[in-house]
Amino acid sequence: MPRAPEPVPVASNENTMSSTQVHHSTAAVRTENVTRHYPMGEGLIRAVDGVSLTIEPGEFVALLGQSGSGKSTLLNLLAGLDRPTSGSVVVHGRDLAKMSAEDLARYRRNDVGMVFQAFHLISSMTITENVELPMRFAEVDRAERAQRSRESLERVGLGKRLEHRPSQLSGGEQQRVSLARALANRPRLLLADEPTGNLDSRTGEGILNLIRDLSLSLGMTVVMVTHERALAERFAQRSIFLADGRLASEEVRA
Amino acid sequence: MTSYDLFDLAVRNLRQSKLRNGLTTVGISVGVASLVAMLSLGVGLQQLATRRLAGSGLFDTVFVTSRQDFRGFDREDDAKQPHPDQAPVLDEAARTKITHLPNVTEVEPEIRVMGEVMSNGETHFGFVTGLPMSARENEAFDNLKGKFFSNDNADEAILLMDFAKELDPKSPESLIGKDITLRYGERQALSSEQGSSGVAVGGSDNAPSSGDDYGFSVVRKQQPLRVVGLIDQEPYGGMRTVSRGRIFLPVRTTERLNMVQFTDMRSSLRGASGKTYMTLTVRVKNPAKVQSVQDAVNQMGFRTFSVLDATKSLRRFFTVLDLFLGIFGSLALAVATLAIINTLVMAVLERRREIGVMKAIGASDSDVKRLFFTEAGAMGFMGGVLGILLGLAIGKAINFGTAIYLTKRQLPPEPVWSMPPWLVGAAIVFSVVVSLVAGLYPAGRAARLDPVQTLKYE
């Protein structure tokens, strides 16, 4: 896969977008009546129950709600980690529900970056190796891998700690590594699941500032799950509230 | 994921739990070592047996007789063929024809005649046997005192030690280099005039083609010979139809002397033309070609005999032995397989979260599967290499032990354990394949892990 040698990645990521798909939809994300039901004993849990929403390219959206409201399940559906029971999830013009497992893996590898509450770094690897890991799956050659992981880590302010292990870093720093890893394959969509949940409020704000700056400079769409309404209102352009797997309300920041 | 990254990640993962993976690898190596040691023992024993039998000169030799002679040797076979009288005789023409068959290296008549040796005014009776130069390879000459014939037409003799003791009971070795006189019967053809006198058996009246047709006379002759060597046992060189040979001469010398043979009487009765042979000993290039030579000679109408059938059952025996040794040796490897499965299943459980993360950031199911496969294969490879080394050590110990045992019993030490080069490669490949098979289940299990579940609980 040829890649343009560009120092700063930009929104148009040619290698993941085929020209035929762009015409269908201009939205970054569009779900239509998407459901995700789990069998539980005799009954059925309707974790996501008929959600239709549209997210524009470059938008920073917060998904809010109580625990069990279905916000994480919805995020997993957008990430291609989970498949909907019914309905469609269209990201950059492609319906994830219709993709093969192999295509979904490729989608996660090239189109999406994920940040988790628990960081999910691999403790036996240095932070550089952690950031390089998704590029290994994408078969980026070694020289470019080293260069891009350094760039990513510099961008999140960890350029001087490349050979450290996650355990040698603070929580905030680990979340920055996780963010750098999410950016490694230059995704157009960043999904963050409670990225500040394990951090104190000042550090959490720092991370969200960073995410917002990256979103703006890279033209990246961001969907963030959080239960902290104050943070959502400060950083997200739009807050979507979920309750019992359904859309409850929506607030757009002025 | 590229092969390099796959291998790199696999080795990195294996090094994460050095003790556990190390122990598993040692387990595999013990399994491979026991398999290799057992199979090498089988190979070693087979080589030992082959060495012993090849030394006897049996395995590359076909004995040819005319079906006119030795009737009733194989009645069943005789019944299927035309009457033996119709069968061809083993004469010079047949010998030449057999000599020109492919893969035949040597065709020598079996010559075994009565003779007398004159020594210090006494006569000593013994059977005289002609030996081809190739007999030097026979294990009977392993303990040759003196030397072998200088050429196949020399006036030289090698004596059996027993016979030498008869000639000189005090110091039989002192005979080497001395001259002895051999008294024997020479076969002289009769001319047709003599034949008509009725002394010898005549041929057909209307077509006498050679003097031989009228029979032969036996004339006593003497021949001085130099004793060049002494041997303890008679080399296997023929059917041993008459008696043990005690005096050995180069085969050409015996032919040149034209010694009268038992079959001469038979062929004179038959009235066949010329000289015939009782038995021809045909040496074949290698034991594998014996069957084809045998078939070709049978095709010519002669009866053949070889010990190929004996080798067949011997080979069958060793195949069975190898199988049993292999099964026995594989038991340890089967146990090692369970160890691999256990280790990898543990690794999958332990690395649940890591597998989930890898999938979340873009690893496909097949990436995860291949990663665990590579780990299993790497353990198998290292176990295989270690196992070969361990097996070599066991083999050295077995050979060392047998050597001590044999030496204590005044026997020459001989290796009973031999690792052929192909076994080294085969054992490593086998070890890797077995490990990959063992990795099937854990790798499949890892690949099927649901990332949502693995990342949920922290």
* Whether the Cβ atoms of residue B14 and residue B379 lie closer than 8 Å to each other: yes
The sign of the dihedral angle between the CA atoms of A151, A153, A155, A160 is negative
> Rounded to an integer, what distance in angstroms lies between the CA atom of residue A141 and that of residue A127?
18
Residue B65 scores a pLDDT above 80: yes
Strand partners, B108: B281
Rounded CA-CA distance B371/B377 in Å is 10
Share of chain B above pLDDT 90, in %: 22
Q: Which residues of B touch A114 (CB under 8 A)?
A: 360-361
Residue contact B364–A76, C-beta within 8 A? no
Residue written as tokens 């397989």? B337
Choice between B190 and A125, residue whose per-residue pLDDT is larger: A125
Of B126, B134, B50, B111, the residue nearest B239 (C-alpha): B111
Beta carbons of B16 and A124 less than 8 Å apart: yes
- Confidence band for B429, pLDDT divided at 50, 70 and 90: very high
Q: Which of A120, A98, A130, A107 is closest to A187 using CA atoms?
A: A107
Out of B353, B366, B367, the one facing A120 most closely (by C-beta) is B353
Q: Mean pLDDT, to the nearest integer, of B428-438?
A: 92
* Domain-wise residue ranges, chain B: 3-54+314-456, 61-306
Contacts of B5 in chain A (CB under 8 A): 136, 139
Rounded mean pLDDT, A16-34? 66
Q: How many other C-beta atoms are found inside a 10 Å radius of the C-beta of residue B364? A: 22
- Give the separation between CA B453 and CA A62, rounded to whole angstroms: 23
pLDDT tens track for B394-406: 989 988 998 898 8
Q: Which pair of tokens denotes residue A227?
A: 């239960």
Q: Over 60: is that where the pLDDT of A6 sits?
A: no
* pLDDT at residue B282 tops 70: yes
Query: Does residue B99 have a pLDDT over 70?
Result: yes
Q: Tell me if residue B186 falls in helix, strand or coil.
A: strand
Q: Which domains are delineated in chain A?
A: 58-81+101-252 (3.40.50.300)
Judged on CB neighbours under 10 Å (0-12, 13-18, 19+), A67 is: exposed
Residues of A in contact with B458 (CB under 8 A): 117-118
β-strand B112-119 against A60-64: which pairing, if any?
unpaired
Q: What pLDDT band is residue B370 in, cutting at 50, 70 and 90?
A: very high
Give one DSSP letter per residue of B370-434, joined into a string. Answer: HHHHHHHHHHHHHHHHHHHHHHHHHHHHHHHHHHHHHHHTT----------HHHHHHHHHHHHHH
Q: B307-346: per-residue pLDDT in tens?
A: 765 666 777 888 888 888 888 888 888 888 888 888 889 8
pLDDT number for residue B74: 60
Point out the residue among B12, B361, B455 whose CB comes nearest to the CB of A134.
Answer: B361
ipTM over 0.90: no
Cβ separation of B361 and A79 shorter than 8 Å?
A: no
CA distance A10 to chain B (A): 20
pLDDT above 50 (res A126)? yes
**Does residue A108 contact residue B360 with C-beta atoms inside 8 Å?**
yes
Query: In a 3-state reduction of DSSP, which class is residue B310?
Result: helix
Is the pLDDT at B366 greater than 60, yes or no? yes
CA atoms within 13 A on the CB side of B249: 33
Compute the average pLDDT of residues B154-182.
88
